[in-house]
Amino acid sequence: MTDTKWALILGASSGFGEATALELARHGFDIYGVHLDRRETLPHAEQVQRQIRDSGRQAVFFNGNAADDEKRAEVIARIVEDRHEVRVLLHSLAFGALKPLAGAADVASKRQLEMTADVMGHSLVYWARDLVAAGAMRAGGRIYAMTSEGGAKAIPEYGPVCAAKAILEAHIRQLALELAPLGITANAILAGVTDTPALRKIPGNEKLMDFARARNPHHRLTTPADVARCIAVLCHPGTAWMTGNTLRVDGGEGSVG
């Protein structure tokens, strides 16, 4: 393994993933990124890579489904081939069904429920354990996963994602337990309401944003950059005793009733 610092960002081309990739690059990390972009959004993913390189860091991006077994194997094989060690893994995948569970004409199907849980929840486990098994994440590694308030409360038409976020937080606790002997930490990041492409897909998102602005002590929404800066600080070696938590990064939003 080389001595360079590498981060692996799942969902690297937008939202929290994009902001964290750029922020970690500014802190001396080279970036592996996995993203899923079609022709119309691919130029933005390429722009993110250029920004990373303009900051003097390396960027190796893979366009594909991060929840796909073959894509995961391809990425990890490349990391091993490059003889690099992943110091930071960020799971920031926002792809799932936004439908009610019951009591409506159009409810989430069994396939949609399982797909949402797999992409936004279970895929974290597969990436973490395969990186460790391949020797691509070792002592000092940091695992972070983006969760939301849906992991602990009911939100209209957000049921499949609520379940996936609860799964994600449970996996974080279990990974923290099981990877502690290896010197690897795992924490979930619960951001305040943030205007991202994923949020814009939630029915009633404008009301959610208005309510968040009103209750946040700073009277504004959280931004991806707010979250990215905190994650960069949490990647410091001195945070090794912080693991198994769901950490709020919301400007105090969650402390207001």
**Domains in the chain, please, with CATH?**
6-255 (3.40.50.720)
pLDDT at position 78 over 80: yes
- Assign residue 214 a region: left if phi > 0, alpha if psi is -120 to 50, beta otherwise? alpha
C-alpha dihedral sign at 197, 158, 255, 216: positive
| pLDDT average, residue stretch 199-217 | 87
pLDDT band at 156 (very low <50, low <70, confident <90, very high): confident
Bridge partners for 9 per DSSP = 33, 90
pLDDT at position 3 over 70: no
Rg of the Cα atoms in the chain: 18
Q: What is the pLDDT of residue 237?
A: 94
pLDDT over 90, % of the chain: 86
Q: What is the pTM of this model?
A: 0.95
Helix, coil or strand: residue 65: coil
Q: What is the mean pLDDT of the chain?
A: 95
Burial class (CB in 10 A: 0-12, 13-18, 19+), 63: middle
pLDDT at position 1 over 60: no
pLDDT at position 2 over 80: no
CA distances from 73 to 39, 129, 133, 254 (A): 24, 12, 12, 38
pLDDT band at 152 (very low <50, low <70, confident <90, very high): confident
pLDDT over 70, % of the chain: 98
| pLDDT average, residue stretch 140-153 | 93
User: Distance between CA 239 and CA 127 in Å, rounded?
Assistant: 22
pLDDT band at 245 (very low <50, low <70, confident <90, very high): very high
